[in-house]
Amino acid sequence: MNGLKHQGFTLIEIMIAVAIFTLIGIASTSVMTAVIDSDKLSENRFEKLQTLQRAMLTIERDLLQAVPRAVRIEGQENSQVMQGEKNLLESEADGFAFVRTGWQNPQLMLQRSTLQSVAYRMQEGKLERLFGNYVDNVVGFEPKVRVLLSNIEDFQVQFLLNADEDSADSESWDDSYAQDTLPVAVRVTITSQDFGVIQRQFLMSTEDS
């Protein structure tokens, strides 16, 4: 018994152990914070991508259901079935308007047509879709506005008039349109702060409805 010595940890050893565990804790916290931040960025990016997909599907649906029906701009009656030009409808870039079919009205329960007047414009960095309950809106009508995309730097719309022209030639596309027939195709170019330049071309149905 007299030859045995009871040894414990010295103060220095305890301080070194505490320091090591503290460093491990700090490193673990940093890694966890980085993972959480990365996850938030990925989630935010995914949400923006979903918003972009919904916006492009909305534009595609509207254009593919466009019909040769006169569209009224600010309630003014005319024979033009699609109108598009810079600053149309107070757009800060291009704007265009037309009439689409396929607006659901099951069993005609609502007192409105299945046709709908729609328009697109850019204001305050937002791509907006304008629409109303009635296809022929009167003077003074204030359209309903739905924001499709934010952080938009530019919005351009071009129109292909002749199917025989080479669609790859930029000169075959017009920057403005106001005629009593639908164009052969519509090209939409969106410049986004989040995704850069996005361009889609939509082949229009030119058959009379």
Q: Render pLDDT for 59-84 as a digit per residue (tens, 0 to 9).
A: 999 999 999 988 877 767 778 999 99
Confidence of residue 24 (pLDDT cuts 50, 70, 90): confident
**Residue 182 above 90 pLDDT?**
yes
pLDDT value, residue 209: 40
pTM over 0.85: no
**Residue 87 above 70 pLDDT?**
yes
The per-residue pLDDT of the chain, averaged, comes to 83
d(C-alpha 90, C-alpha 73), whole Å: 11
Confidence of residue 165 (pLDDT cuts 50, 70, 90): very low
pLDDT value, residue 141: 72
Element (H, E) at 15: helix 11-64
Q: How far is CA 49 from the centre of its chain?
A: 9
| Domain boundaries, given as residue ranges, for the chain | 57-203
Pick the CATH number of 57-203 from 3.30.70.100, 3.40.50.1370, 3.10.610.10, 3.90.550.10: 3.10.610.10
pLDDT value, residue 32: 78
Nearest to 175 by CA among 81, 71, 64, 94: 94
Q: Which of 31-40, 139-148, 172-181 has the lowest mean pLDDT?
A: 31-40
pLDDT value, residue 40: 72
Confidence of residue 135 (pLDDT cuts 50, 70, 90): confident
**Residue 153 above 90 pLDDT?**
yes
As to burial, measured by CB atoms within 10 angstroms (0-12 exposed, 13-18 middle, 19+ buried), residue 121 is: buried
**Residue 96 above 90 pLDDT?**
yes
Selected residue with higher pLDDT from 145 and 140 = 145
d(C-alpha 158, C-alpha 184), whole Å: 11
Confidence of residue 8 (pLDDT cuts 50, 70, 90): low
Confidence of residue 208 (pLDDT cuts 50, 70, 90): very low
